[in-house]
């Protein structure tokens, strides 16, 4: 293999904006969950989260994991999505194989779309008789109401854009990376 540097074309501005929109779509729901754990809402409007150790760990972890996954979308439009940063031990400076980014991104987008479909269809057809939610043998948890219920909808609504935005950015990444250009190294 020659000493040529592989350079993908720069992403269009609209794709860069879409990539940056993903973390912004996930952030409100992550903050909502953290606010629930912190007990920032009136207990008459929303069931407080964080009573058990499992809830205290799971809910913030879900927020952190969802934000990390959303931020990884930026790698599809940034240079570190094409070559790993040099500061990473053993792997730094190596080219990222396009499919190593495309396959997880497409799988993630499909999983999110599947979750949307399940929630929508279950809500329409009531496939699963969920009944009241019971955690740890406690009393049923009522859905949020009042201002807290409206705020929850506002915080979770942007998540509907996550899967389509991720898919658009991924398709562009694949298109750009599949037509990589070879550039001679400087000084040759």
In a domain, residue 48? The reply is yes
Q: How many domains does the chain have?
A: 1
On whether residue 185 sits in a domain, the answer given is no
Could you list the residue range(s) of the whole structural domain that residue 83 is in? Answer: 9-131+139-178
Distances (CA, A) of 111 to 33, 108, 141: 21, 5, 27
> Residue 2: pLDDT above 50?
no
Q: Tell me whether residue 66 is in a domain.
A: yes
Least confident of 74-78, 115-119, 121-125: 121-125
- Between 66 and 56, residue with greater pLDDT: 66
Neighbouring C-alpha atoms within 13 Å toward the C-beta of 83 = 13
Tell whether the model's pLDDT for residue 21 goes beyond 90: yes
- Which pLDDT value is given to residue 93? 84
Q: Is residue 2 part of a domain?
A: no
Give buried/exposed letters for 5-16 (b at 16+ CB in 10 A, else e): eeebeebeeebb
Q: Which of 11, 12, 3, 9 is nearest to 181 (CA)?
A: 9
Selected residue with higher pLDDT from 126 and 165 = 165
Cβ atoms of residues 46 and 144 within 8 Å: yes
pLDDT reported for residue 1: 45
**pLDDT score at 66:** 96
Beta-carbon contacts of 182 under 8 Å, excluding residues fewer than 6 positions away, are 2, 4, 5, 6, 7
Higher pLDDT, residue 126 or 77: 77
Q: Contact 174/106 with Cβ under 8 angstroms?
A: no
The overall pTM is greater than 0.85: no
């Amino acid at each position: 293999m020659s000493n040529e540097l592989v350079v993908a074309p720069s992403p269009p501005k609209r794709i860069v904006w879409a990539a940056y929109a993903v973390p912004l779509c996930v952030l409100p729901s992550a903050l909502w969950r953290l606010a629930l754990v912190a007990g920032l809402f009136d207990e008459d409007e929303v069931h407080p989260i964080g009573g058990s150790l499992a809830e205290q760990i799971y809910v913030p972890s879900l927020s952190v994991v969802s934000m990390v996954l959303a931020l990884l979308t930026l790698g599809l439009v940034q240079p570190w999505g094409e070559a790993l940063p040099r500061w990473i031990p053993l792997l730094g400076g190596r080219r990222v194989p396009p499919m190593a980014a495309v396959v997880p991104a497409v799988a993630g987008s499909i999983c999110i779309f599947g979750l949307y479909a399940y929630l929508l269809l279950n809500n329409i057809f009531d496939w699963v008789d969920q009944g009241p939610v019971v955690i740890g043998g406690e009393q049923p948890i009522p859905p949020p109401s009042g201002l807290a219920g409206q705020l929850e909808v506002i915080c979770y609504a942007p998540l509907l854009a996550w899967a389509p935005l991720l898919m658009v950015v991924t398709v562009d990444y694949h298109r750009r990376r599949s037509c990589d250009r070879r550039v001679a190294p400087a000084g040759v």
